Structure 1
Amino acid sequence: MKLCIALDLPSKEENLQLAKNISGLSTDIWLKVGFRSYIRDGVKFVKELQNLGFKIFLDLKLYDIPNTMADASEEIAKMGVDMFNIHASAGRVAMKTIMDRLSKYKKRPLVLAVTVLTSFDEKNFEEIYELPIATKANEFAKMSYEEGLDGVVCSAYESLDIKEITNDSFITLTPGIRPFGEDRGDQKRVADIDFATKAKVNFIVVGRPIYKSGNPKKVVEKIIQKLKEKK
C-alpha cells in the first residue's frame, strides 16, 4: 500500500514547502494535485513537483463527452504524470475512447475511474443514482475493469468487494483516510490504515491529517512506519 499526499493547501508556496519537507523520506510517496492547485498553479507546478522526484496523481476527475475526455487524457499523458482519473459516470464509450487513445503511448499514465465520491452518504447518493452506494460502486468498478482501466477511486468500504469482482491487481485508491482516527471533516465514509489494509487498498490518500498537524513531516514518517509494519 502506497501513500498519496493531497496537496490542498491555500497557496503554491505552502504546497511546495510541504513537498520539499517530505522529499527523501520514501520513494513510495505520491503527490495528489487536485482542482484547486491545478487551476491556480498549472503545469509548471506539476513539473516542479516532478523535479523533486515525486510521482504525480492528477486528480481532475474528467467528465465530458468521450472525444473531449480523450483529448484531455492525451494532454495529461504528454505532461508525464503517473496517474489521473475520470468519472465512471461518463460511461463505457468514454472509457474505451480514452484507453484506445492512450494505447499509442509507450509509457502512459495509470487511469482510474471515480466510483462514488467519499463525501456522499447513502441518502444523498440515492437521490441522484437511485441505488445504494455499494451496488453502484461495484457496477462502476466492473465497467471500468471490462474497459481496460487500471483501477478505481472508491472508499475503503467498497475496496474488498471491488477486488473480488475484478481481481487483486485492479487498483483501488481511497480518499478520506484518517490514518490514526483523526476527525472526518466533510468526508462521510472514512477509514484508518488498519481498515484500509484489510480491504486490500493499493493507495491511501491523506491530506488534512498531514498538513493541518503541527509537524507534517513527523506525521508522514509515522504513516510510512505504519505502512511498513503492514507489509
Structure 2
Amino acid sequence: MKLCVALDLPSAKENLELVEKIKEYDVWLKVGLRAFIRDGYNFLGELKKINPNFKIFLDLKLHDIPNTMADAAQEIAQFGVDMFNVHASAGKVAMRTVMKRLESCQKQPIVLAVTALTSFDEANFQAVYNQDIASKATQFAKDAYESGIHGVVCSAFESQEIKNNTCADFVTLCPGIRPFGEDSGDQKRVATIPFAQENSVDFIVVGRPIYESTEPANIVKRILDIL
C-alpha cells in the first residue's frame, strides 16, 4: 500500500514548504483542482525539483463529453504525471474514449475512475443516484474495469468488494483516511489504516493529518512505518 499526500494548502508556497519537509520519503503527491487552477502546470515541475522521484497524482476528476475528456486526458499525459482521474459517471463510452486516446502516448499514466465521493453519506448519495453507495460504487467500478481503466477512487469500505467484482490487480485509491483517529472533517466515510489494509487498498490519501501537523515529516514517517 502506498501513501499519497494531498497538497491542499492555501498557496503554492505553503505546499512547496510542506513537500520540502517530507522530501526524503517515498510518497506520492496529490495535486487537486484548487492547486492546479491556482498554480498551473509549472507547479508540477516545482515539485519534481524538490525530489525527481516523487510520483504525482493529478486529481482533476474529468467529467465531460467523451471527446472533450479524451482531449484533456491527452494533454494531462503530456505533463508527465503518473496518475490522474475521471468520473465513472461520465459513462463507459467516455472512459473507453479516454483510454483509446492514451494508447498513442509515449508515457501512459495510471487512470482511475471516481466512483462515490467520500463526502457522500447514504442519504445524499441516494438523492443523486437513486441507489445505495455500495451497489453503485461496485457498478461504477465494473464499468471502469470493462472500459480499460486501471482502477478507481473509492472509500476503503468499498475496496474489497470492488476487487471481488473486477480483479485483484484493479487499483483502489482511497481518500478519507484518518491514520491516528483525527477528526473526519467534511468526509463522511472515513477509515483507519488497518481497515484499509484489511480491505486490500492500494493507495491511501492523507491530507489534513499531515499538513495540519506541526511536524508533518513525523506523521509521514509514522504512517509509512505501519504500511
TM-score per shorter chain, which class? over 0.9
Residues of 1 paired with 2:45 and 2:151: CA distance? 25
For residue 133 of structure 1, report the CA deviation from its aligned partner: 0.2
What are structure 1's unaligned runs of at least 5 residues? none
Are 1:66 and 2:66 counterparts? yes
Which residue among 42, 45, 60 is the counterpart of 1:44? 42
**1:226 match:** 226
Q: CA RMSD in A?
A: 0.7
Tell me the distance in 1 between the aligned counterparts of 2:183 and 2:132. 25
**How much has 1:106 moved relative to structure 2?**
3.1
Structure 2 residue ranges without an equivalent (≥5): none
How far apart in 2 are the matches of 1:99 and 1:225? 35
1:101 aligns with 2:84: no
| CA drift at 1:24 | 1.4
Secondary structure, aligned partner of 1:218 = helix
Q: How many residues in Structure 1 have an aligned counterpart in Structure 2?
A: 225
How far the C-alpha of 1:20 sits from its partner, in A, is 1.0
**Which residues in structure 2 correspond to 1:190-205 (within 5 Å)?**
190-205=190-205
Q: Report if aligned partners of 1:181, 1:191 keep a CA contact under 8 Å in 2.
A: no
Equivalent positions of 1:90-169 (< 5 A) are 90-169=90-169
The list of structure 1 runs, each at least 4 consecutive aligned residues, that deviate by more than 3 angstroms after superposition, is none
Aligned to 2:84: 84
Task: State the identity %.
Answer: 63
Counterpart Cα distance in 2 of 1:148 and 1:55:
22
- CA–CA separation in structure 2 for the residues paired with 1:178 and 1:171: 20
Q: Are 2:32 and 1:34 aligned? A: yes
Alpha-carbon deviations, 1:9-66, whole Å to 9, x = none? 011001001111111122xx00000011000000000111123221000000000000
Offset at residue 181 of structure 1 (A)? 1.6
Give the alignment's TM-score, normalised by structure 1.
0.96
- Asked whether the equivalents of residues 159 and 199 of structure 1 are also in contact (C-alpha less than 8 Å), the reply is yes
Query: 1:5 — aligned with what?
Result: 5
Q: For the Cα contact (< 8 Å) 1:22–1:217, is it kept in 2?
A: yes
